[in-house]
Amino acid sequence: MCGIVGVVNHEDAARCILEGLQRLEYRGYDSAGIAIVGAQGKVSIARAEGKLSNLTGKLADAPLAGSTGVGHTRWATHGAPTEGNAHPHRAGRVSLVHNGIIENYKALRAELSAAGRSFASETDTEVVAQLLDRYLETGLDPRSAWLETLGRLEGAFALAAIIEGEDGLLLGARRGAPLVAATSETSGFLASDIMAITGEARTVIYLEDGDTVFVRPEGIEICAPSGEPVARPVNPAPASMAMAEKGNHRHFMQKEIYEQPEVVGRTLSAYVDAEAGRIRPVEGIDFAGMSRLLVVGCGTASYAGLIAEYWFEAMAGLPVDNDIASEFRYRDPAFLPGDAALFISQSGETADTLEALRLCKAAGLKTIALVNTPHSSMAREADVVVPTLAGPEVGVASTKAFTCQLAALASLAVLAASQRGKLSPEAVEAEVASLMAIPAQMNAALAIEQEIDQLATELAHASIVLYLGRNVFFPLALEGALKLKEISYIHAEGYAAGELKHGPIALIEDDVAVVAIAPHDALFAKTRSSIQEVRARGARVIAITDKAGADELDSEASAILKLPDVKGLAAPIVAATAVQLLAYYVAVHKGTDVDQPRNLAKSVTVE
């Protein structure tokens, strides 16, 4: 994840910001920068490609002195990883840093360009800086200009900004990406992660989604998007790095669920050229020349591969064979001319998957590794590496790694469809727009957390839970059942809804819990029939659906979890958030060890 650090009224703002960014280095980045309000209120900026050491070297030659500033480590999204695209971005009096995606930046950029403003970068971030400066030019005070600016933005993001001539003011906002505000005896802070200011801050406010914040030496003001003040709990700042890593979350798993809008957006941006409305080609992969794609993984990774099988075949017309890695090499697989093999692993060290890769490589197949760890064994040995950018995942039960795998696979499916002539450029552009909207949609899906928490109190007493789905929601049902059994120890099974009559329906009796993933899509009527079948036999049905589905299932489901209206590739990625939260809260109410469930390891490196 990109890193944000801001400070106001500090004896050495540059040092404080650099030390904070260093604590976030492990998350990955490709450029860094810092802006400081110096003497006479003037802002100076230093930026550099590559590691923080490059920025530190620049500052050693030309120090930036001042008490207020912002800093950033960037992973390139819109625009290449160049110094010109690095944050902070300046427009007039404004210097600004940003995590996330501004979905409507093209329209805003066109509007601002028509008004005579010129742009120095390729980023969506600069649009925000230009917009804020424009409102300031109209005579609005900083508070009003900031609120007006935020009201124009669409997407999932966190922002921090300083204004020339305003030495005692730091502006911030959180919309779907993490941001905290904090204080010491004399200073105020903003950061994307409390780890960045551990040791400096004495109290911390974990901002809630939608919060706008103004940090001044005399205190912190938080308001809603309307500008109405809101109160948030003030907590003691964590005293150690270990405590800081979880922030205000009870478990790492919960934190990682909530990081998904940001890290999925970051992963998508590695594949999507939003400006051009296309998927960037991946060097070494030619989907047009493939006769078949073998997809191999274990556990959650294998379910990501199953969802991708539906996408590649339906969208790109590319035949896919999906295998569990632990069985693949022992069944003596037969290979065909033109075969390529894709291996999915969070760690890149999964023993069975690594051995399957070696088998395919020895057979002469093109091998592709989809991994979250760029220097892993699989990454080193595969012909092509396609990364997921989830960042470190501590919880044993995979959450953000899974949705980042799906984000990468969805992007590759669109690329395959384009290369194989199955999608026109206009259709590709529409798919790209849909993909880039996913972070904001995931953020909206997380808003039903309280409903899930309440529902989980009852589900925690179940002895068996069945998950049902059709099409891409069948693998998601398998993943939902896996999550529940992993961390709550409740026996759970996932089934294709159409297979009920072929055996599983015998398990249905009074009060058996059934979770039906049933968005109002082309197969909704068939899924609804399955819901009616189990309901007639006494099952307690929990439906995960959208508004249209909720309306039709109102009298048929015992409980309904209503998600945003999402179609196409985005749908299973957004629905995964509800599936994960349901498992998480059931485990919390059962009192199990959520982050380190019994008998399981994060990375399985032995057979």
Give the pLDDT confidence of 181-213 residue by residue, as tens digits.
999 999 999 998 888 898 899 999 989 889 999
Quickly list DSSP for 225-274: TTS-B-----EEPPSSHHHHHHTT-SSHHHHHHHTHHHHHHHHHHHHEET
d(CA 463, CA 256): 27
Biggest CA-to-CA distance, the chain: 78
Task: Check which CATH number belongs to the domain holding 143 and give it.
Answer: 3.60.20.10
**Local structure of 103: helix, strand or coil:** coil
273 and 282 Cβ atoms separated by less than 8 Å:
no
Same domain as 527, residue 385: no
| Predicted pLDDT of residue 600 | 77
Q: By CB neighbour count within 10 A (0-12 exposed, 13-18 middle, 19+ buried), where does 507 fall?
A: middle
156 and 442 Cβ atoms separated by less than 8 Å:
yes
d(CA 256, CA 270): 20
Which of 155-164, 266-275, 388-397, 413-422 is most confident? 413-422
Q: Is the dihedral of CA 48, 52, 57, 59 positive or negative?
A: positive
Same domain as 454, residue 354: no
**DSSP H or E run through 150:** helix 142-151
Same domain as 370, residue 486: no
Q: What are the structure tokens assigned to 141, written together?
A: 């005070």
Q: What is the mean pLDDT of residues 384-392?
A: 92
In 66-120, the DSSP E strands lie at: 68-74, 89-91, 94-102
| Predicted pLDDT of residue 308 | 98
**Residue 260 backbone phi and psi in degrees, to 5:** -60, -40
d(CA 276, CA 155): 18
Q: How confident is the model at residue 26 (pLDDT cuts 50, 70, 90)?
A: low
Paired sense of beta strands 203-206 and 235-236, if any: antiparallel
Place of tokens 């974990």: 206
pLDDT > 80? residue 398: yes
Q: What is the mean pLDDT of residues 308-333?
A: 95
25 and 55 Cβ atoms separated by less than 8 Å:
no
Closest CA to 258 of 118, 390, 433, 142: 390
Closest CA to 122 of 171, 53, 74: 74
pLDDT tens, 543-561?
A: 999 999 999 999 899 999 9
Same domain as 84, residue 12: yes
Q: How confident is the model at residue 27 (pLDDT cuts 50, 70, 90)?
A: low
Left, alpha or beta for 471 (phi > 0: left; psi -120 to 50: alpha)? Answer: left
Closest CA to 252 of 595, 603, 602, 601: 595
Same domain as 194, residue 50: yes
| Predicted pLDDT of residue 208 | 87
Whole-number percent of the chain with pLDDT over 90: 76
Same domain as 444, residue 350: no
d(CA 148, CA 226): 9
| Predicted pLDDT of residue 80 | 80
Which residue has better confidence, 510 or 571? 571
Last residue of a domain, one of 436, 452, 483: 436
pLDDT tens, 50-74?
A: 889 999 999 999 999 999 999 999 8
d(CA 81, CA 31): 6
pLDDT > 60? residue 448: yes
Place of tokens 């064994």: 377
d(CA 112, CA 276): 19
| Predicted pLDDT of residue 511 | 78
Q: How confident is the model at residue 601 (pLDDT cuts 50, 70, 90)?
A: low
Same domain as 227, residue 269: no
Same domain as 485, residue 411: no
pLDDT > 90? residue 130: yes
Same domain as 530, residue 514: yes
d(CA 370, CA 344): 5
d(CA 530, CA 574): 23
Last residue of a domain, one of 221, 248, 275: 248
Mean pLDDT of the chain, nearest integer: 92
Which residue has better confidence, 248 or 459? 459
Same domain as 243, residue 378: no
Task: Check which CATH number belongs to the domain holding 599 and give it.
Answer: 3.40.50.10490
Q: What is the mean pLDDT of residues 534-551?
A: 93
pLDDT > 80? residue 416: yes
Known catalytic residues are 2, 602
Give the distance from CA 318 to its chain's centroid.
27
N- to C-terminal Cα separation, the chain: 32
d(CA 419, CA 413): 10
pLDDT > 60? residue 605: no
d(CA 259, CA 412): 22
How many domains in the chain? 3
288-292, long-range: CB within 8 Å, 24+ apart, which pairs? 288/419, 288/420, 288/421, 289/338, 290/318, 290/338, 290/339, 290/340, 291/319, 291/336, 291/337, 291/338, 291/339, 292/318, 292/319, 292/320, 292/321, 292/336, 292/338, 292/339, 292/340
| Predicted pLDDT of residue 607 | 56
Q: Which domain holds residue 33?
A: 3-248
Same domain as 527, residue 484: yes
307 and 406 Cβ atoms separated by less than 8 Å:
yes
Give the distance from CA 255 to its chain's centroid.
11
Last residue of a domain, one of 215, 248, 281: 248
Q: What is the mean pLDDT of residues 514-521?
A: 96
Partners of 204 in the β-ladder = 182, 235
Beta-carbon count within 10 A of 373 CB: 20
| Predicted pLDDT of residue 542 | 96
| Predicted pLDDT of residue 602 | 64
d(CA 557, CA 535): 8
Cβ neighbours of residue 445 closer than 8 Å, sequence gap 6 or more: 563, 564, 574, 575, 577, 578
Same domain as 172, residue 93: yes
| Predicted pLDDT of residue 506 | 87
Q: What are the structure tokens assigned to 212, written together?
A: 């706008």
